[in-house]
């Protein structure tokens, strides 16, 4: 994601502060700045934009109920087809 200006991340919130939270997925962790901070262990989809070296949340969607294991399996199958 180093060359991207906008990204979408789906994962579990594993850390939070007053102005940021960290989302973890199968590829690693991403620190995201936001005024709206989701709770720890929430599954979220975050639409982000880059500002300098930071990622800023534009939209945060609650994805509670999403099975991340199934999502990872689907992504793996999709990548094999490409």
Question: Within 10 Å of residue 38's Cβ, how many Cβ atoms?
Answer: 20
Give the pLDDT confidence score for residue 68 in this predicted structure: 81
| pLDDT at 1 > cutoff 70 | no
User: Model's pTM, two decimal places?
Assistant: 0.84
The b/e string for 16-27 (b: 16+ C-beta within 10 A; e otherwise) is beeebbbbebee
DSSP states along 38-74: PPTT-EEEEEEEEETTEEEEEEEEE-TT--HHHHHHH
Give the pLDDT confidence score for residue 20 in this predicted structure: 98
| pLDDT at 66 > cutoff 70 | yes
Whether the Cβ atoms of residue 44 and residue 23 lie closer than 8 Å to each other: yes
DSSP 26: T
> What pLDDT digit, counting tens, does each position of 8-63 carry?
999 999 999 999 999 998 889 999 999 999 999 999 999 999 999 999 999 999 99
């Amino acid at each position: 994601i180093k060359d991207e200006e906008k990204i979408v991340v789906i994962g579990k919130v594993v850390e939070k502060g007053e102005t940021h939270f960290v989302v973890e997925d199968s590829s690693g962790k991403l620190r995201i700045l936001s005024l709206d901070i989701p709770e720890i262990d929430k599954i979220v989809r975050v639409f982000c934009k880059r500002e300098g070296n930071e990622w800023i949340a534009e939209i945060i969607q609650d994805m509670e109920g999403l099975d991340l294991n199934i999502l990872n399996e689907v992504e793996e199958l999709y990548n094999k087809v490409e």
